[in-house]
């Protein structure tokens, strides 16, 4: 059973969290490189991390996304206090902001399974099981990533977006679950580049404000269950 250090980053600027993930990925990649070249190793073991956080208002565009899916200009974004990043994750454009749980697993999939499709389905499963604890039945939409409600009919709506990057089976980026998210910010983009589907949140579906700390706790438990891992309390160390 792999050990995963859980680190709650709190409310953190998107770029800062991205840099942090990149630095932890690099630590893993450096160890892999040293092993491959039979070089002396400083740190011997590649460790796994699960970062959870919230971001101030931000739109992020994946490497396969299209700028035209951002429907407002820089001036309007400034008015809305929203920043923008082009990222190296998969997927198109999405929104992060208050009331949303963002999770960034930094894992070495060579210690789990070398299958990105299975990795994405496993992330989805952890969210599906989390939502089930609240009586929200969710699932997958054929041909799309993320977690959806009523995926098999015209009322399909996304509650959790996903986009990851993998390098030599080290992962960064991850998922964003709408809990108490202000959904109006999705009106200024074409979420994930999908024009004919809606976006929702746990609060909207249940008609009440949701305890975000409770959701976070349940998600970490489900993540451990799906990935058959032991969750440890971690802390930021020099990367």
**pLDDT tens-digit readout, 19-65:** 999 999 999 999 999 887 787 666 688 999 999 999 999 999 999 89
Q: Which CATH class is domain 2-53+98-233?
A: alpha beta
Comparing C-alpha atoms, which of 183, 223, 20 is closest to residue 98? 183
Query: Does residue 59 have a known ligand-binding role?
Result: no
Answer whether 51's CB lies under 8 Å from 17's CB. Answer: yes
Query: Does residue 151 have a known ligand-binding role?
Result: no
Rounded to a whole number of angstroms, the CA Rg of the chain reads 18
Instruction: Please give the structure tokens belonging to residue 7.
Output: 């680190």
Query: Does residue 130 have a known ligand-binding role?
Result: no
**Three-state secondary-structure class, residue 217:** helix
Query: Does residue 92 have a known ligand-binding role?
Result: yes
Catalytic residues: 192
pTM comes to 0.94
**pLDDT tens-digit readout, 176-201:** 999 999 999 999 999 888 888 899 99
Query: Does residue 81 have a known ligand-binding role?
Result: no
Query: What pLDDT sits at residue 42?
Result: 63
Residue-level length of the chain: 239
Residue 237 has pLDDT above 80, yes or no: no
**Domain parsing of the chain, residue ranges:** 2-53+98-233
């Amino acid at each position: 059973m792999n050990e995963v250090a859980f680190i709650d980053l709190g409310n953190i600027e998107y770029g800062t969290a991205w840099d942090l993930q990149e630095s932890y990925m690099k630590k893993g990649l450096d160890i892999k490189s040293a092993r491959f070249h039979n070089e002396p190793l400083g740190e011997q073991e590649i460790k796994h991390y699960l970062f959870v956080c919230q971001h101030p208002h931000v739109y992020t565009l994946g490497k396969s996304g299209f700028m035209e899916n951002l429907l407002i200009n820089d001036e309007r974004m400034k008015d809305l206090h929203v920043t923008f990043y082009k990222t190296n994750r998969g997927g198109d454009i999405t929104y992060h902001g208050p009331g949303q749980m963002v999770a960034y697993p930094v894992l070495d999939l060579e210690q789990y399974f070398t299958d990105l499709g299975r990795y994405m389905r496993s992330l989805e499963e952890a969210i599906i099981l989390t939502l089930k604890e609240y009586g929200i039945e969710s699932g997958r939409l054929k041909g799309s990533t993320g977690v959806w409600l009523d995926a098999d009919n015209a009322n399909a709506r996304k509650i959790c977006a996903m986009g990851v990057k993998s390098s030599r089976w080290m992962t960064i980026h991850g998922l964003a679950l709408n809990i108490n998210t202000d959904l109006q910010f999705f009106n200024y983009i074409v979420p994930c580049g999908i024009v004919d589907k809606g976006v929702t949140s746990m609060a909207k579906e249940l008609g009440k404000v949701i305890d975000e700390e409770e959701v976070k706790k349940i998600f970490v438990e489900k993540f451990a269950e799906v990935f058959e891992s032991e969750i440890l309390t971690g802390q930021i160390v020099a990367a």
